[in-house]
């Protein structure tokens, strides 16, 4: 995904150096340049003439320095009482709140999503920070009866150690916060690498942590490319845990690297999410949900509603209303409050999405009902804009119905029954989110039970997670972990079971000493 910006960077580095703001890594409490001396230019995807800044294209040595700083800070941080750690996070939340408008504008500028959505992304980071901070006075373990008399049994959480966090560009502040804040409240120290397309939002998050008083070395930021910085983080022998969000392909590479040294590996990856629209659905409401789910963030959400499985009885009505609404959407620079759909992230994304337009129409034989084109004239000339696109007459086996396109493209698939719709919904390699529109509670609960996904919505689109519920998916989407909710604490802490024998004598467990009762 980042290749397009990369190419641009190399072409234009010398032209822009003087006037371009320069950013640094954050290692051991200091803002430092990369040892590599190389940079990545961060450009606005709505207008690539707008250079936001240059960020270190860091080397493996920078990662090693960051890991050393995290190691040096670990003992003091893990021994800081969790409620004290949480106080610092609460302060970080206040700072994020104070600077929300600036962070929102920064995010729209570097990532392209419309201001309202960028504000939502920053708000999610704030919510997540407060929520994690609240855990500082809980981090609950449990007690349980022991098998023997005069014996006590309990279980407590302990920090994992040094954690590497690797994040994507589509939620450039929310996703880093989903990992960082729970990691910190649990007492871990961290090295974080944002996506090369969106380092500024993570830089802003780390600045807030610094100002809030997170001690030096507890959080370390290293920007750069996946194949250097990401790969070194994934394979670093001192990093006990890697938490990754991104594509399924990259996630697999990260998992291999972790398996080599038996590191804990938490993966949040791709999706191909379906909304089922039944014949008793409120069609207008379903159309609004589909438009929001498919074209919000220009379709660049892991939870995007990229498949709409529609009962034959309402298929025509639903499709024509959907097409009408998709055509009304205003595409443009997300900084303009009149715009509904911003640009996609970079040139590679444009090329990939346009390839799928061709596959859908010419290989798969679906009907291109609206959209399908890149916008390249007038205000669009310097950005990466694509028309909101609807394919109809799609069958479940088509590539556009199976593969993650990650753009403003959705496929309408006709179905004859609820059971068939569920089979279609489940018939992809991913398992992140699914939804149903119906007025029938029995159908709703049946679908909820039978869809094999981590998230399910009734009468709502497949997007819109809240930070206090677990987030993640099955099959190709995840490896069994969940972020957000209290479940994220199970990623960032290790359970320790503790037995206290206060009988004053040897009591032997795992020996068959049971007597019949009575
Ligand atoms: P990506 O896999 O290209 O990159 C993700 C991160 O991994 C980036 O920081 C990148 O630099 C890094 N990386 C790349 N190569 C690496 C390597 N060899 N070793 C280690 N790190 C490496 O993904 P992307 O294009 O940034 O994001 C889009 C993808 O993310 C989509 O598939 C989307 O569905 C997924 N996503 C999933 C969730 C979720 O929670 N399930 C959320 C958001 C995005």
> Which residue out of 246, 251, 271, 471 has the highest number of ligand 1 atoms within 8 Å of its CB and is therefore the one to mutate?
246
Q: What tokens appear for 291 in the block?
A: 């438009």
In 177-254, which ranges are E strands? Answer: 189-193, 219-221, 241-245
**Cα 321 to ligand 1 centre (Å):** 34
Q: Using the 8-state DSSP alphabet, how is residue 456 labeled?
A: E
| The pLDDT of residue 14 is above 80 | no
Q: Ligand 1 pocket, 44 CB below 6 A?
A: no
How far apart CA 46 and CA 48 sit, in angstroms, is: 6
Q: What is the pLDDT of residue 307?
A: 98
Residue 486's pLDDT is what? 97
Is-contact 92 125, C-beta < 8 A? no
Q: Which two tokens stand for residue 275?
A: 């909304």
Is the beta carbon of 300 within 6 A of some atom in ligand 1? no
Centre of ligand 1 to C-alpha 248, Å, is 8
Q: Does residue 12 register a pLDDT over 70?
A: no
Average pLDDT, the chain: 95
C-alpha of residue 324 to centroid of ligand 1, in Å: 33
51: helix, coil or strand? strand
- Residue closest via CA to ligand 1's atom 25 equals 1
**pLDDT confidence tier of residue 1, bands split at 50, 70 and 90:** very low
**pLDDT tens profile 90-140:** 999 999 999 999 999 999 999 999 999 999 999 999 999 999 999 999 999
Instruction: Please tell me the distance from the alpha carbon of residue 206 to that of residue 284, in angstroms, as a whole number.
Output: 43
Four-point Cα dihedral 106, 373, 352, 300, nearest 10:
40
Q: Please choose from 247, 248, 253 the residue to mutate so as to test ligand 1's pocket, defined by most ligand atoms within 8 A of CB.
A: 247
Please state, for a pLDDT cut of 90, what percent of the chain lies above it.
Answer: 94
Q: Which of 4, 56, 222, 226 to mutate to test the pocket of ligand 1 (most atoms within 8 A of CB)?
A: 226
Residue 514 in this model has a pLDDT that exceeds 90 = no
456-461 average pLDDT score: 98
Res 9 pLDDT > 70 = no
| pLDDT over 80 at 397, yes or no | yes
Could you tell me if the CB of 486 is within 6 A of ligand 1? Answer: no
Kindly provide the residue ranges of all beta strands, DSSP E only, lying in 443-492, ordered along the sequence. Answer: 455-458, 474-475
Please tell me the distance from the alpha carbon of residue 237 to that of residue 151, in angstroms, as a whole number.
39
Taking residue 36's Cβ as centre, other Cβ atoms within 10 Å add up to 16
270 lines ligand 1 (CB under 6 A): yes
Instruction: Specify the ligand 1 atom closest to the Cα of 471.
Output: 40
Render pLDDT for 270-291 as a digit per residue (tens, 0 to 9).
999 999 999 999 999 999 999 9
- Return the pLDDT at 6: 43
pLDDT digits (tens, 9 = 90+) for 140-150: 999 999 999 99
Ligand 1: does its nearest atom lie under 6 Å from the Cβ of 299? no
The pLDDT tens digits of the residues spanning 312-338 come to 999 999 999 999 999 999 999 999 999
- Nearest-atom number in ligand 1 for the CA of 1 is 25
196 lines ligand 1 (CB under 6 A): yes
Over residues 424-429, mean pLDDT:
98
Q: Which residues are catalytic?
A: 268, 302
Q: Is the CB of 406 under 6 A from ligand 1?
A: yes
Q: How many CB atoms lie within 10 A of CB 345?
A: 28
Q: Is the pLDDT of residue 15 over 50?
A: no
Question: pLDDT category, 3, cuts 50, 70, 90?
Answer: very low
pTM metric for this prediction:
0.96
Alpha-carbon torsion (45, 50, 55, 59), positive or negative: positive
Banded model confidence at residue 509, pLDDT cuts 50, 70, 90? confident
């Amino acid at each position: 995904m980042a290749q397009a910006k990369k190419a641009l960077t190399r072409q234009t580095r010398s032209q822009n150096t003087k006037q371009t703001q320069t950013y640094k890594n954050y290692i051991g409490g200091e803002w430092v340049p990369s040892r590599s001396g190389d940079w990545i230019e961060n450009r606005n995807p709505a207008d690539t003439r707008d250079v936001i800044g240059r960020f270190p294209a860091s080397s493996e040595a920078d990662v090693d320095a960051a890991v050393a700083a995290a190691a040096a800070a670990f003992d003091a941080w893990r021994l800081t009482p969790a409620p004290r750690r949480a106080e610092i996070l609460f302060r970080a939340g206040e700072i994020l709140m104070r600077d929300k408008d600036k962070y929102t504008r920064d995010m729209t500028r570097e990532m392209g999503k419309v201001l309202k959505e960028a504000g939502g992304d920053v708000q999610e980071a704030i919510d997540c920070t407060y929520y994690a901070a609240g855990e500082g006075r809980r981090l609950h373990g449990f007690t349980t009866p022991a098998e023997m008399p005069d014996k006590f049994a309990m279980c407590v959480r302990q920090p994992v150690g040094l954690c590497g966090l690797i994040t994507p560009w589509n939620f450039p502040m929310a996703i880093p916060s989903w990992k960082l804040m729970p990691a910190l409240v649990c007492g871990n120290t961290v090295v974080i690498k944002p996506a090369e397309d969106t380092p500024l939002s993570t830089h802003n998050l780390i600045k807030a942590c610094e100002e809030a008083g997170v001690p030096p070395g507890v959080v370390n930021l290293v920007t750069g490319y996946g194949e250097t910085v990401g790969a070194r983080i994934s394979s670093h022998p001192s990093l006990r845990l890697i938490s990754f969000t991104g594509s399924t392909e990259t996630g697999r590479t990260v998992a291999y690297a972790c398996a080599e040294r038996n590191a804990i590996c938490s993966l949040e990856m791709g999706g191909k999410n379906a909304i089922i629209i039944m014949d008793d659905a409120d069609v207008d409401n379903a159309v609004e949900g589909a438009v929001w789910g498919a074209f919000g963030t220009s379709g660049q959400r892991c939870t995007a509603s990229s498949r709409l499985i529609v009962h034959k009885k309402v298929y025509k009505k639903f499709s024509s209303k959907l097409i009408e609404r998709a055509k009304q959407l205003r595409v443009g620079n997300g900084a303009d409050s009149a715009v509904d759909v911003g640009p996609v992230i970079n040139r590679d994304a444009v090329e990939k999405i346009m390839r799928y337009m061709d596959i859908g129409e010419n290989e798969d034989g679906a009907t291109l009902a609206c959209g399908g084109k890149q916008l390249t004239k007038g205000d669009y000339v310097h950005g990466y804009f694509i028309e909101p696109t609807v394919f109809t007459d799609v069958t479940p086996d088509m590539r556009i119905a199976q593969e993650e396109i990650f753009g403003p493209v959705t496929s309408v698939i006709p179905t004859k029954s609820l059971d068939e719709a569920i089979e279609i919904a489940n018939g992809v390699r991913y398992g992140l989110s699914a939804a149903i529109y119906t007025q029938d509670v029995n159908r709703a609960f049946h679908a909820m039970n039978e869809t094999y996904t981590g998230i399910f919505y009734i009468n709502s689109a497949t997007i819109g997670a809240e930070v206090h519920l677990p987030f993640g998916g099955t099959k190709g989407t995840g490896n069994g972990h969940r972020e957000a909710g209290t479940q994220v604490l199970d990623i960032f802490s290790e359970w320790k079971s503790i037995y206290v024998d206060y009988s004053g004598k040897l009591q032997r467990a795992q020996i068959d000493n049971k007597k019949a009762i009575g």
